[in-house]
Amino acid sequence: MIDITFKDGNVKQFEPGVTPEDVAGAIAPGLKKKTVAAFVDDDLYDLNRPIYSDATIDLITKDNEKAFEVLNHSTAHLMAQAVKRLYPDAQFGVGPAIKDGFYYDIATKHTIKNEDLGKIENMMKRIVKEQASMTREEISKEAALKRFKDDPYKQELINDLEDGETISIYSQGEFTDLCRGGHLGNTRHIKHFKLLSVAGAYWRGDSDREMLQRIYGTSWFTKEDLEAHLAVLEERKERDHRKLGKELKIFMLDQKAGQGLPIWLPNGYTVRRTLEDYVYKLERRHGYKHVSTPVLGTKSLYETSGHFEHYQDDMFPLMKSKEETFVLRPMSCPHHMIVYNSELRSYRDLPLRYAEIVTQHRFEASGGLSGLERVRAMTLTDSHIFARKDQIKEEVLNAYNLINQAISDLGLEIDYVELALRDDAKGKFHDDDQLWDEAEATLKQLLDEEGIEYVSAKGEAAFYGPKVDIQVRTAMDHVITMSTVQLDFLLPERFDLTYIGQDGEKHRPVVIHRGLISTWERLMSILLEQYKGAFPTWLAPVQMKVIPVSLDAHQAYAEELHETLMDLEFRSELDNRNEKLGYKIREAQRSKIPYQLVVGDEEVQSNTVTYRKYGHQEQVTVSKADFIDMIKQEIKDKA
């Protein structure tokens, strides 16, 4: 007999060879049904993997996050088996569980089309009915290589495993796959799944290697969960900023205007301008000075900074005149270095915080462009803070606090903070180890001291220094870098920046790069999706629509009201078209205008307005003055 110790400290005895499924069953039949896998001495065990010696066990039930992973991983295997039956030449790359589902990378001569997904699903259902047991075997490296001798992808994976590492393979029916494991034990447990899409994916994520076909799918324990997840995917389509941006006339893209070069329509530009004003004032309040520099610069400027060397492939082609070669600037750091150097600086001048609303161009890969999220022409508020070393801590913190304020004002939330560090990749980072060590240590220490939680990301630094990236999760469930604070000891060297210290000698300042709100383009895509197009009043392109009940009787009153609101710098519109009231209401609702103001006999007589707020059914009648105060307050609160 062996001792099985449970999480709560209880110990029970079992025959050697007992499986997690048996153990769960011995406690309660209900538990057996709910159990999906188990951690046995911290190793993930399949439901049917035998245990031969004393161990601690932690049963994984369906409500556990890990269970979803196991289910989806098993479903990936099931799909691979189905694909192999339909397309016998198929060979397989990797097939992991991911957030919300799984994928498997497949090499086959057959081009898998969307129509094929249904066929594959049907085959999967047939295999489920076969109730094939998913069994584990541990074999030597040699045996594994022999077993997968016809499969170059598996060969490569096996060869990359450390010597001595356990190699396990899983079989279900005629299908065998190399796999670390954590499986359901039997295909019959897989019931509610759907294949979602086919896409290309490079083998091992390397763009120099061949491309495999990747099928994405999702698998759930209950029909309700599956349907709920599919509903979420549908709902996301409704939120898509490209759809909303077109409906609400925020922006457009046009083949003739150029790929990835968005055009801001009046509604979109109004929102953007409101954001620009907001940021400008916020930065001024925080001691930033604004400058304006050109979108073109000389190539040598970017050679000095090092950007040309690192990013020339992602820059628009050079422009050459007889005397000089120019670049369409991909970012603004070098210009701000020049601003710094325009005067002799004293230690008393520092810190100097320069900010600019910068339009920049990057020649992004055509396949990566997407709506406003990824474009080739973008505008953002960019800033460079020039500080003494003893001011780094305070300046980084100031920037961090400013970022927090902006993100919260915009109704967004920080998902997590990432500390991007260098790794030993050749040529990717400038090569002064001493500067790097100092910069990285400074940021680490600062985050630790301030109790700011972060995850480290090796190899994600900029070529000139480490970054603190502020990550935001969008309504579409994308994680994007919203803001960034970067510590740079390199550009001050490259541009020979100096200040005169207390000692009368020249010293090197430090540059802190600060990005606040990504770009206006990307921010707009995020806000559209976040608010589903229904902007809060302070941002809304049109804040209120004045609708007279009858043109004859109420137009004058409506016009006067509209003029009053416009005088107060509210973004009011007057709908004095000859249309039915219901029609105008419908249109105002569909344009997601925060306030519709209907005025008729009642309002004219009592000098009031009747408003209905977007998303609400109630009609509220208040005096003009009260309405104005209410809107003023709402805009002030950014509610």
Partner RNA sequence: GCCGCUAUAGCUCCAACCGGUAGAGCAAUUCCAUGGUAAGGAAGAGGUUGCUGGUUCAAAUCCGGCUAGCGGCACCA
User: Within 87-116, which residues bind RNA (CB under 7 A)?
Assistant: 111, 113-114
By CB under 7 A, is residue 127 in contact with RNA? no
Residue the block writes with tokens 């011995």: 26
Q: Are 610 and 603 in contact (CB under 8 A)?
A: yes
By CB under 7 A, is residue 433 in contact with RNA? no
User: Within 503-542, which residues bind RNA (CB under 7 A)?
Assistant: 513, 515
Q: Are 70 and 37 in contact (CB under 8 A)?
A: yes
Maximum distance among all Cα pairs of the chain, rounded to whole angstroms: 95
Number of residues forming the site for RNA (CB under 7 A) = 73
* DSSP codes of every residue in 211-266: EEEEEEEEEESSHHHHHHHHHHHHHHHHH-HHHHHHHTT-EE--TTT-TT--EE-H
| Beta-carbon contacts of residue 227 (< 8 Å; ≥ 6 apart) | none
What number of other Cβ atoms are within 10 A of residue 351's Cβ?
Answer: 17
By CB under 7 A, is residue 20 in contact with RNA? no
- Cβ closer to RNA: 182 or 260? 260
Q: Which of 29, 88, 164, 368 binds RNA (CB under 7 A)?
A: 368
Q: Which of 456, 619, 623, 633 binds RNA (CB under 7 A)?
A: 619
Q: Which of 10, 53, 207, 342 binds RNA (CB under 7 A)?
A: 207
Q: Which of 330, 509, 533, 594 binds RNA (CB under 7 A)?
A: 330
By CB under 7 A, is residue 52 in contact with RNA? no
- Cβ closer to RNA: 59 or 157? 157
User: Within 544-573, which residues bind RNA (CB under 7 A)?
Assistant: 549-552
- Cβ closer to RNA: 27 or 265? 265
What number of other Cβ atoms are within 10 A of residue 110's Cβ?
Answer: 14
By CB under 7 A, is residue 49 in contact with RNA? no
Residue 364 Cβ, how far from RNA at the closest point, in Å? 6
* DSSP codes of every residue in 577-634: SS--HHHHHHHHHHTT-SEEEEE-HHHHHHTEEEEEETT----EEEEHHHHHHHHHHH
By CB under 7 A, is residue 466 in contact with RNA? no
Judge residue 234's burial from the number of C-beta atoms within 10 Å of its C-beta, 0-12 exposed, 13-18 middle, 19 or more buried: exposed
Q: Which of 128, 193, 603, 635 binds RNA (CB under 7 A)?
A: 603
Interface pattern 282-321 for RNA (x via CB under 7 A) = -------------------------x--xx--xx------
Q: Which of 22, 54, 303, 364 binds RNA (CB under 7 A)?
A: 364
User: Within 242-261, which residues bind RNA (CB under 7 A)?
Assistant: 242, 246, 253, 255, 259-260
Residue 423 Cβ, how far from RNA at the closest point, in Å? 12
Distance set, CA 70 to CA 64, 174, 416, 520, 634 (Å): 10, 21, 26, 40, 48
Segment interacting with RNA, rule: CB under 7 A, options 62-70, 119-127, 156-164, 366-374: 366-374
- Cβ closer to RNA: 74 or 519? 519
- Cβ closer to RNA: 345 or 562? 562
By CB under 7 A, is residue 335 in contact with RNA? no
Residue 485 Cβ, how far from RNA at the closest point, in Å? 11
User: Within 370-429, which residues bind RNA (CB under 7 A)?
Assistant: 370-371, 374
Q: Which amino acid is at 314?
A: D
Instruction: Measure the CA–CA gap between 564 and 600, rounded to whole angstroms.
Output: 17
Judge residue 22's burial from the number of C-beta atoms within 10 Å of its C-beta, 0-12 exposed, 13-18 middle, 19 or more buried: middle
Q: What is the DSSP letter of 316?
A: P
Q: Which of 143, 145, 161, 201 binds RNA (CB under 7 A)?
A: 201
Instruction: Measure the CA–CA gap between 98 and 295, rounded to whole angstroms.
Output: 41
| Beta-carbon contacts of residue 204 (< 8 Å; ≥ 6 apart) | 93, 156
By CB under 7 A, is residue 143 in contact with RNA? no
By CB under 7 A, is residue 202 in contact with RNA? yes
Q: Which of 362, 384, 545, 562 binds RNA (CB under 7 A)?
A: 362
| Direct distance between the N- and C-terminal alpha carbons of the chain, in angstroms, rounded to an integer | 66
